[in-house]
């Protein structure tokens, strides 16, 4: 169990980078879906 606690602390910089990348991908995906939704609404309304 102590290894599990010390692990994330050592990889904090890598986790921050990966978390930022995941957050960026999530935001882009959400924006893409919103844009697609807007196009669909304009087409079918």
Strands (E) in 3-42, as ranges, are none
Domain boundaries, the chain: 2-44
* Helix axes 2-10 and 12-44, enclosed angle (nearest 10): 70
pLDDT digits (tens, 9 = 90+) for 14-31: 777 788 899 999 999 999
Per-residue model confidence (pLDDT) at position 24: 96
**Confidence check: pLDDT of 38 > 70:** yes
Total-model pTM? 0.55
- The predicted pLDDT at position 36 comes to 98
d(CA 19, CA 6): 18
* 15 touches 8 (CB < 8 A): yes
């Amino acid at each position: 169990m102590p290894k599990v606690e010390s692990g994330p602390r050592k990889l904090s910089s890598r986790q921050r980078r990966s978390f930022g990348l995941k957050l960026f991908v999530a935001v882009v995906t959400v924006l893409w879906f919103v844009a697609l939704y807007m196009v669909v609404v304009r087409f079918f309304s």
